Amino acid sequence: MSKQEKQPPKSGEEKAETSKSKRGRKRKGMCLEDRPLLEPDAAGIDIGAREIFVAVPPDRDEEPVRVFATFTEDLDAMARWLVSCGITTVAMESTGCTGFRSTMCWNNTG
């Protein structure tokens, strides 16, 4: 084997080369500004065990991101706020069964 031919890298060397080459690459995908607006009346909800983070489009409220507790009265307040912002669709992320109660409050509000 000549000096110009490369030998297969050892396991530790392979990982180092891979991480180096990824750093110089341009990220795939579109910028936020380039993405089409598919649901203008949508909100995003991240449901945790103790807090729920809710985001609506910035033109809908002076405070477009709010945090709610997970008690029933707080879920009702969240649903009322979403309706007052003109939200008709929500995208929820929940790792447990907490999202079920939020869905019930949202459906009962309108």
For the entire predicted model, the pTM comes to: 0.61
Pairing of strands 51-55, 65-69: antiparallel
Token look-up 């945790």 returns 48
Q: pLDDT (tens digit, 0 to 9) for every residue of the chain, 110 residues total?
A: 555 555 555 555 444 444 445 566 666 777 878 888 899 999 999 998 899 999 999 999 999 999 999 999 999 999 999 999 999 999 998 776 655 555 656 566 65
Which residues fall within 8 angstroms of residue 65, CB to CB, at 6 or more apart? 53, 54, 55, 56
